[in-house]
Amino acid sequence: MRGARQRLLALACTATAGALLLTGCLQNPSQSGGGAAGGGEGLADNAEADGDGVVTILGAFGGQEEQGFLAAIEEFEAESGIDVRYSSDQDFTNTIRLRTSSGQAPDIAIFPQPGGLLELAADGFIQPIDTYLDYEAIDRTLVPGFLEAARLNGRVYGAPMRMAVKSVVWYPAAAYEAGGYNAEPANLDELAEVATQIREDGIAPWCMGWGSDQATGWVGTDWIEEYMLRLWGPDVYDEWTSHQIPFNDERVIAAFEAYGELLETPDNVLGGPSGVLSTPFGNAMLPAFEDPPQCLLERQGNFVTGFFPDDVQADLDNQVGLFVFPRAADSEYDGQPIMGGGDLAALMNGNDEEAIQVMEFLTSDAFGGAWAQAGGWLSPHTTFDASLYPDEITRQTAEIVAAADVFRFDGSDLMPNAVGGGTFWTGMVEWIRGDKTAEQVTTDIENSWPAAEEEADS
């Protein structure tokens, strides 16, 4: 893929122009003169009783995550006198639509993806946050750019209460340090130099697995999203995920080519492209902990530590190292972006002062202490007390995000499900198999984009 570098240089000027497009969108939406989805301020309402001391919440997480959430609100309930009743539903996306359409919306819904939130906001079922939260205050403490995921027609309709981070590179600490490899590459060129050194030592630099049953391909979409952010910056990324530019734009093809260069360099990825497809994503890094290691690096979200060997999980601080997936050296965007996800809390009963109190707490940097101590939770606030995290690895992950210049939601989560959870996944599989070129795959995905989405206002 030697042409990737030339294509990037040829397209760099496009990113410069795009960098100006969204500047006006980053202000307090309550100052823009726009109204709620139906026009004017309005109030989202539901059939729940107001002021009865009970606030109902519907979310997608259950099990240990639900226990962590309940522990995190216990003190708030005692101090406020509000009975917070959380219900978990694994089919949240469909359930929230059905309950809303039948007049049974909860007071608060916690969305694992922005798409469903914005869909209900467009129909007037979600209260814009600037009507009841201190928008400026929350925006100052959040990772920059996080609120953009919940923006519709100039208003923001949800705020995060949990964050996931994907732009992290993991490595086995002892083997990596013994090799003397750079643990703080400043850009993708320096990261490529690290990979060259590892190959010269007879080890595959990259551990990688895409296998995920019917969802195989999502790992590949994450890689393309990472390159889109780093090569072209957050504004072009936003244009792409909202379909303001076509999916087969030449900048997207350049991102495929840049990732293809990493994949197709001989001995750069354990098992090569065919091995990537046959390796379950949760098993991808297991070879890194063998003696001797078969590979050393994996770019994956912070959840991946749960798939490491038991003895590694029991001693993460000593067994594992990490660094941020770096920026591109030759990009017109000179910041460090972070890609990830999160759970977005949204108010569906704007008449209930108690529901507003709960929203104020859930979306503040005071929420989450007990959940953080239990593990598996990250605050989206840069001002959260990092001492509450249970280990140094989690604190380092939080520091990486806090130091980032901008946060962007996982792109496929922002796209229509037919694309983000459909043709984008399958297209990645066709591409890595060599069945289709990047041009063919991106054109197929472009042609699959629902026509109705083309008229949506980002």
**pLDDT tens, residue order, the chain (458 aa):** 334 444 444 444 333 333 333 333 334 444 433 333 333 355 888 888 889 999 999 999 999 999 999 999 999 999 999 999 999 999 999 999 999 999 999 999 999 999 899 999 999 999 999 999 999 999 999 988 999 999 999 999 999 999 999 999 999 999 999 999 999 999 999 999 999 999 999 999 999 999 999 999 999 999 999 999 999 999 999 999 999 999 999 999 999 999 999 999 999 999 999 999 999 999 999 999 999 999 999 999 999 999 999 999 999 999 999 999 999 998 889 999 999 999 999 999 999 999 999 999 999 999 999 999 998 899 999 999 999 999 999 999 999 998 999 999 999 999 998 999 999 999 999 999 999 999 999 999 999 999 744 444 44
pLDDT recorded at residue 356: 97
DSSP 186: -
Question: Which residues are CB-contacts of 53 (< 8 A; sequence separation ≥ 6)?
Answer: 81, 82, 83, 354
Helix (H, G, I), strand (E, B) or coil at 167: coil
**What is the separation of C-alpha 315 from the centre of its chain, rounded to a whole number of angstroms?**
26
Peptide bond before 292: cis, by omega within 30 degrees of 0?
yes
Write out the two tokens for 251. 């900048």
Name the burial class of residue 328, with classes exposed (0-12), middle (13-18) and buried (19+) by CB atoms within 10 angstroms of its CB.
Answer: buried
pLDDT recorded at residue 41: 54
- Architecture of the 173-336+413-455 domain: 3-Layer(aba) Sandwich (3.40)
DSSP 335: S
**Nearest alpha carbon to residue 341 among 174, 99, 190, 115:** 115
pLDDT recorded at residue 31: 40
- Beta strand 108-111 pairing with 54-59: parallel
pLDDT recorded at residue 24: 32
What is the CATH code for 34-165+339-403? 3.40.190.10
- Residue recorded with tokens 């939770």: 377
**What is the separation of C-alpha 31 from the centre of its chain, rounded to a whole number of angstroms?**
27
Q: What is the DSSP string of 295-308?
A: EEEEE--GGGGGGS
Q: Which residues pair with 346 in a beta bridge?
A: 109
Kindly report the length of the chain.
Answer: 458
- Residue recorded with tokens 């038991």: 310
H-state helical runs in 81-171: 92-101, 114-122, 135-141
pLDDT recorded at residue 42: 58
- Residue recorded with tokens 């972006």: 337
pTM of the model: 0.85
Query: Hey, where are the domains in the chain?
Result: 34-165+339-403, 173-336+413-455
